[in-house]
Structure 1
Amino acid sequence: MSSVKASTEGLEIVDRARKMRKWDKYASIWCEQAQVSQTTLKRFWQRQTPIRRDNFEAICQAIALDWQDVAAPEYLPIATPKNLPKLNYIPDKRCRKVWGRDRLIQEVLNALTDPQELSILSLSGPGGYGKTEAARQIARATLKRHLFANVLWVTARQTELVGDRISAETDSDILDSRQFLHQLAIQLNCPSDRVRQHLREEKYLIILDNAETADVDSILAKLTKILNPSRALLTSRLQTNPPYVKLLPIQGLEEHWCCELLRDEANYQNIPALLEADREQLHTIYELSCGAPLALHFIVGRVLHDRTLDPVLEELKQAKGRVETFYKFCLNTAWQQINPSSRNILRYMGQMDAGILGEEISQVGKVEETNLPSALTELRRWYLLENQKDCLGNWRYSLHPWVRNSIRSNLVDRWQPSLKDIENIAKYKFNIDLDGDII
């Protein structure tokens, strides 16, 4: 039987995964889940000698990781992107419709295809301005127009941005250049040391989403050395603008696009208070929301519930153009109105860094299966929940990064998962019970 050894980058991925479960490096529960000895687990961490592949796979599976994401390149199956089907790593759209971004998309496409332009672009703007959605549309447009061989998409969501600083338990929780390169290698299905070669043999578009929660300086230093003809696009709440990056600020929607969005959602949800809004009220919404799509969707959710526009306009006036202040008004109001099952869904999903299946919510999210459909519908009506397809075509539920970070930072609730909660999550994700028996 073959043996495998972890890479340095792979161990960093494992380290983050085990910290999420609050496990020690040599936790007995880990050994039980993987059905390996503590000695084997220690050898896995030490990397001095390879361990049996079945044990290696079991150790990775116990923390919901693919062993190929952890293994050193020399132990991976040999394959090249040219011999493989091109997988789609572009996330599914978050909004039912996207308004008013055609001009921005064309500007970015022109810059990406202009050989005289810098090879790295940064789409920057406040939270809720639609950076990820714009990047998604740009990525799909490049493939539709055959401008790039494929799109490689990396999302930095393991940490949070507080003010202008990254909040993380340790430096290893922050996506750095080695981990970023490792993610590219996974999507290219090649060792990390071959990424540069592939990016030069074919023209790829690399997108780093939520770059503000990554060690962007180290990543940019690496990118500048491996691009050409490939290109890179960042989305970030911070204005990263070194001399080798072209900054493209994203603005709020223009007034007529704000009105189109509000009318369309009002028709879709049948909201008379918005359908009957006069020109002055719509202009007030535009000015005070700064044209931020997230703010506009929150407004729709609030008016749908309140059945009147006046309280929402008053909160907008109190926020005085600070859209994140208005977001907080909306989230706090929603939290007071939604039912306990909906709150449990937000609590659970706030701790997750990626979209999850409905089955997972009902089994380990403390939501009865019979209550799940109505709770999900309620959260969608408040515009707190997003439906997305993963690269395999499965529907998953996710939160907007601003909503996730607000829940995680205890803006509306001080709930934290208990050890029992974490064990239940592990039991579900690994499909193994706590005694090591297959379910």
Structure 2
Amino acid sequence: MDLAEISPSSIEASLKALRSGNPPHGGLFALVEGIRSPEEKRLVIEDLLINTITDTYLQMRKVEGLKSALPANRQQTLAQIFEDFSTKNSDLQAWCCLYYRYLSPIDLSVEEISQAACVVPQHLRRRINQGLALLTQTLRRRALQNHSQVAAVTQHLPTPEYTQLVGVQSYTSLLLRLFKDPEGPRMVSLEGMGGIGKTAVARAFVSLPENVALWQKVLWVSARQTLLAEDGQLTRSPDASATLEDISARLAEQMGLAALAGKPVQERLEGLRAALFQNRCLVVVDNLETIEEYQQLIPALARMAGSSRFLITTRQTLRQYPFVHTLPIQELPVQSAYELISAEMTRRGQPGSLASRDFAELYRVIGGLPLAIKLVAAQLKLHSLNEILAGFRSAQAGTDGLYRFLYWKTWQSLREPAKQLLLSFLAANPEGEDLEFLSIMSGQSQQDFYTAMQELDAFSLLETNTDHEPTLYRLHRLTVTFLQTDILNLWSGDSTDERTQSG
């Protein structure tokens, strides 16, 4: 959010546009962050301007002991302007000028307003400028307040797994309808194979302003990745959420019920049930298939719903539970997939290097898996499309084989410092770390570290959270899985050589 975009000039341009039926100035889009539809942005901004000016103007008249009502005709309008300027309240005069210059249904020229106010046009201009300054302050405070409220509600959300989203609006719109409906399902599951974008859809949806407005809190729990210990052994993350006890403890902490987190699990569940019945919360359980006892977890969570709702992402279908609304996430259609790979290639400085007819052949091989498309976009900077297609055809069939091939090709393309840095991420916080921490953890010189970071980013191996200050970096879960199962096993002698793995 850039408050500097909300300025007297952008506000006046929007008010003039409002009078002529044109869209508002783009600078005011900072007031409607998260709203995608241009028409919806326009309506929200217009309503905000009209309501803020009108309500404040009438309130200022009330403070001065004047009638808090708008005039019904031209004669009453001119009389009310005279009345406002007869007071010594310059703020009332400023709001009066904004209303009658830009919003009043009675069309008045600058000369008419000046004559009614008994001032010269130059003085009227000063009062208009004063009004624009007051309105700017009001709208900036409103934007900050909204931003703070959103931050408070969404403080437990993880780092987004995307820089650009394609093909998710139909899912987020449906989720919004389901959760807005008082009679809607208490539990919804987003289902699909790994890398298809379940978490991305969930993360995009829960951060929508329209969704945030529905809840007092948005909670997010997920099974944590294992960590790489100093002795080279894979160990469980200390704050893993892989059991019903883990999940309930994390939920209690995020609800601000620290004392409850230390209670026995059944007592904790009862306390959570009472809290979730009293408060409207949206609870996201990400990567359900990695959680032990999930078949016991689902009914336990359902009993806690009350005024709250649950959103689940999983590779395992939950169709066996009649109280769960299942929503399968499909692969991107060919056009959306082409938009994604084009955007990824443009981001890497190679726009227009893949014709749509060539992509059609690639799509027949890899389908519309977003993660696979991003990895292929990185490979196209080093290899021709024919080379990549030949590699796919010789690789093991199936989705696992597809990802394994892509990751091996990427691994083999990395220089040694980038490989070492990639492995060091296994010891990082799965929610992300900042550059300073990663640099220290890598043990590399500054030059090697930043060069390696750029290399990992070029191959789509990094996910960034630019909303956080400072920016956080982490790996996609499937990247972590590849490092743990293929690379570490290779080094320990439990895997075949790289030539065989890469197809």
- Within the alignment, does 1:380 sit opposite 2:457 as a pair? yes
Change (3 A) 1:349 1:187: same
- Whether the 8 Å CA contact 2:331–2:369 is kept in 1: the answer is yes
Match of 2:417 in 1: 341
Q: SS of 1:243's equivalent? A: coil
| Counterpart Cα distance in 2 of 1:330 and 1:113 | 40
| Counterpart Cα distance in 2 of 1:286 and 1:351 | 35
Root-mean-square deviation (CA, aligned residues, Å) is: 2.8
Counterpart AA for 2:388: V
- Within the alignment, does 1:196 sit opposite 2:273 as a pair? yes
Match of 2:35 in 1: none
- Within the alignment, does 1:325 sit opposite 2:401 as a pair? yes
- Within the alignment, does 1:239 sit opposite 2:306 as a pair? no
- Whether the 8 Å CA contact 2:282–2:308 is kept in 1: the answer is yes
Measured after TM superposition, the shift of residue 279 of structure 1 is 3.2
| Counterpart Cα distance in 1 of 2:394 and 2:324 | 37
Q: Over residues 117-171 of structure 1, what are the superposed CA-to-partner deviations in whole Å (9 max), with x where a residue is unaligned?
A: 33111111111111111001110126556122221011212469xxxxxx9989x
Measured after TM superposition, the shift of residue 234 of structure 1 is 0.8
| Counterpart Cα distance in 2 of 1:224 and 1:379 | 41
Counterpart AA for 2:192: G
Match of 2:183 in 1: 116
Match of 1:284 in 2: 361
Change (3 A) 1:411 1:268: same
Measured after TM superposition, the shift of residue 265 of structure 1 is 2.0
Q: Over residues 414-434 of structure 1, what are the superposed CA-to-partner deviations in whole Å (9 max), with x where a residue is unaligned?
A: 458xxxxxxxxxxxxxxxxxx
| Counterpart Cα distance in 1 of 2:400 and 2:189 | 22
Change (3 A) 1:320 1:363: closer
Match of 2:328 in 1: 249
* Aligned residue runs from structure 1 range 9-408, under 5 A: 86=153, 88-141=155-208, 144=211, 146-158=213-225, 175-190=242-257, 191-192=259-260, 193=268, 194-215=271-292, 216-241=294-319, 242-271=321-350, 275-306=352-383, 308-319=384-395, 322-352=398-428, 354=430, 355-388=432-465, 393-408=469-484
- Whether the 8 Å CA contact 1:143–1:150 is kept in 2: the answer is no
- Whether the 8 Å CA contact 1:292–1:323 is kept in 2: the answer is no
Measured after TM superposition, the shift of residue 406 of structure 1 is 1.2
| Counterpart Cα distance in 2 of 1:243 and 1:168 | 37
| Counterpart Cα distance in 1 of 2:438 and 2:458 | 18
Counterpart AA for 1:279: S
Alignment gaps of 5+ in structure 1: 1-81, 161-166, 417-439
- Aligned residues with identical type, % of pairs: 24
| Structure 1 length-normalised TM | 0.67
Change (3 A) 1:379 1:248: same
- Whether the 8 Å CA contact 1:205–1:233 is kept in 2: the answer is yes
More helix, by proportion: 2
| Counterpart Cα distance in 2 of 1:379 and 1:403 | 11
Q: SS of 1:379's equivalent? A: helix
| Counterpart Cα distance in 2 of 1:136 and 1:365 | 29
Measured after TM superposition, the shift of residue 221 of structure 1 is 2.4
Alignment gaps of 5+ in structure 2: 1-148, 228-233, 261-267, 493-503
| Counterpart Cα distance in 1 of 2:184 and 2:208 | 19
| Structure 2 length-normalised TM | 0.59
Measured after TM superposition, the shift of residue 350 of structure 1 is 2.6
| Counterpart Cα distance in 1 of 2:404 and 2:312 | 26
- Whether the 8 Å CA contact 2:223–2:240 is kept in 1: the answer is no
| Counterpart Cα distance in 1 of 2:317 and 2:387 | 34
Change (3 A) 1:112 1:256: same
Change (3 A) 1:136 1:85: closer
Measured after TM superposition, the shift of residue 225 of structure 1 is 1.2
Higher relative CO (Cα under 8 Å, sequence separation at least 6) belongs to 1
| Counterpart Cα distance in 1 of 2:235 and 2:316 | 17
- Whether the 8 Å CA contact 1:157–1:210 is kept in 2: the answer is no
Change (3 A) 1:86 1:262: closer
Q: Over residues 320-361 of structure 1, what are the superposed CA-to-partner deviations in whole Å (9 max), with x where a residue is unaligned?
A: 872331221121112112111111112121344512232333
| Counterpart Cα distance in 1 of 2:404 and 2:191 | 21
Q: Which runs of 4+ in 1 moved over 6 A?
A: 167-170
- Whether the 8 Å CA contact 1:271–1:303 is kept in 2: the answer is no
Change (3 A) 1:169 1:278: closer
Measured after TM superposition, the shift of residue 243 of structure 1 is 2.4
| Counterpart Cα distance in 1 of 2:194 and 2:172 | 19
- Whether the 8 Å CA contact 1:288–1:316 is kept in 2: the answer is yes
